[in-house]
Amino acid sequence: SNTANDLKENADVPTFPMPRTLPLRPPPDYARLRKENPISKAKIWDGSVVWLVTRHHDVSKVLTDPHFSKVRTHPGFPETGPGGKAAAHTGKPTFVDMDPPEHTRHRGMVEQDFTKKKAEEMRPKIQQIVDKILDEMLTKAQPVDLLASFALPVPTLVIYHMLGVPYEDHEFLDTCNAIRTNGSATSAESARASKDLMDYLARLVDKKTQNPTNDIISRLAIEQVQTGKLTHDELVAMSFLLLVAGNATTANMIALGTLTLLQHPDQLAELRRDPSLIKNAVEEILRYVTGSQFATRRLALEDVEIGGQIIKKGEGVWALNASANEDEDVFSNATRFDIRRQPNPHLAFGDGIHVCIAQDLARVEIQIAIETLIRRLPNLQLAVPADELQYVTIPKRDFGVAALPVKW
């Protein structure tokens, strides 16, 4: 829908995403934009132009303003790559891609499973899962890839437990998940693995409808599907969302959080001396690393004013939570990693009605995983020089390390 005038006007806008200079730090352009041009245009992979919102206050405003939509079938909705664009137009959306009132209704069906109280009650189960995974890792020859052998199995086994995936099916699902998240799989391979997962979940929903057990899928099958409030296919899609939404992100935060601590040995030593710092340290890891930094995209449903700039109806917006998390107006010494930082109002889980539904669960998982890892492995270290590590980013994934070879 770009007119000739728009095109001329947009001829010299920068390309997004911008390059990083340090692998673990956001692009330095963010700091410049926050200062000089906090709401500015950029060109994305498909040639379309979007607004980049960089200040903490404005990012939060976009994410809490009902004039912005998450419905990805709107023309001009900013996508991360061709795969995402295709996916946005096939199949029915889940609540992550809905606006109210559908979003409210669908999200409301599972909110009770992800309260802070539920997450706290999960602690013993999560500790048991983490210890078991670590026991297995310790039997392997060193070096070991901490991402594949520790960080990824933690959120995976937790969500299998919550959804009620039977133990004997774990291996099949792990294989599908591995293909989906593997940076080197072709798009045909990952599409096939996603389809296998969907087919599996459809059979699981049938099984749980006939023989309900104590888990999320059984409860939704009885309360929502049998009463006609949710279709069978919608439950399959919702189960898929819950199964895959948090695995790569949580795994990344465990792996990148461990890497960040290894690169700040004085703070790692302090955390080992005083494990009660773990909750605060995890908040700082979430802020400093911001693993999910390309999810918070929106489209303006009306002309809206944000930070003095008019964003026109139909224009796409990228609310950069990684930039917000380094905003000096909110965080003093924002570029410093400080496990004692307080307060820490980071936007790593987003904000507003789409704020991560599982934020408290994810917090508990990362806290237990890292606390247990550094307690049980006092000699934990990288097995390769840090500058040899490979990273993955969009269109494959938000941001993450491809592998984290460690020894102990």
Kindly state the smallest distance separating residue 395's Cβ from ligand HEM, in Å: 17
Helix, strand, coil in percent for the chain, rounding step 5: 50, 10, 40
Kindly state the smallest distance separating residue 312's Cβ from ligand HEM, in Å: 21
Residues forming the site for ligand HEM (CB under 6 A): 63, 95-96, 107, 155, 159, 241-242, 245-246, 249-250, 253, 291-292, 295-296, 348-350, 354, 356-358, 361-362
Q: Decide whether 322 or 388 has the Cβ nearer to ligand HEM.
A: 322
Q: Which of 58, 97, 113, 398 is catalytic?
A: 398
Kindly state the smallest distance separating residue 385's Cβ from ligand HEM, in Å: 27
Q: Report whether 142 contacts 404 (CB < 8 A).
A: no
**Angle at the Cα of 22 (from 20 to 27), degrees rounded to 5?**
30
Q: Decide whether 49 or 322 has the Cβ nearer to ligand HEM.
A: 322
Q: Report whether 69 contacts 301 (CB < 8 A).
A: yes
Q: Which two tokens stand for residue 38?
A: 């906090």
Q: Decide whether 39 or 119 has the Cβ nearer to ligand HEM.
A: 119
Q: Decide whether 9 or 67 has the Cβ nearer to ligand HEM.
A: 67
For residue 307, count other CB atoms closer than 10 A to its CB: 15
Kindly state the smallest distance separating residue 372's Cβ from ligand HEM, in Å: 17
d(CA 66, CA 3): 27
Q: Which of 249, 258, 296, 323 is catalytic?
A: 249
Q: Within its chain, how far is the Cα of 355 from the centroid?
A: 11
**Catalytic annotation on 398?**
yes
Report the residue number whose CB is nearest to ligand HEM: 246
Instruction: Tell me the residue type at 340.
Output: R
**Catalytic annotation on 94?**
no
Kindly state the smallest distance separating residue 254's Cβ from ligand HEM, in Å: 8
Q: Decide whether 238 or 374 has the Cβ nearer to ligand HEM.
A: 238
Secondary element (H or E) of residue 299: strand 297-300
Q: Decide whether 105 or 336 has the Cβ nearer to ligand HEM.
A: 105
**Catalytic annotation on 292?**
yes
**Catalytic annotation on 249?**
yes
List, as one string, the DSSP characters of 19-82. PPSSTTS--THHHHHHHH-SEEEEE-TTS-EEEEE-SHHHHHHHHH-TTEE--TTSTT---SSH
Kindly state the smallest distance separating residue 186's Cβ from ligand HEM, in Å: 26
Q: Which of 292, 296, 323, 372 is catalytic?
A: 292
Rounded to the nearest 10 degrees, the angle between the axes of helix 170-181 and helix 187-210 is 150
Instruction: Tell me the residue type at 116.
Output: K
Q: Could you tell me which of 229, 197, 195, 224 has the C-alpha nearest to residue 209?
A: 224
Q: Which of 29, 356, 360, 372 is catalytic?
A: 356
Task: Give catalytic residues, as residue numbers.
Answer: 249, 292, 356, 398
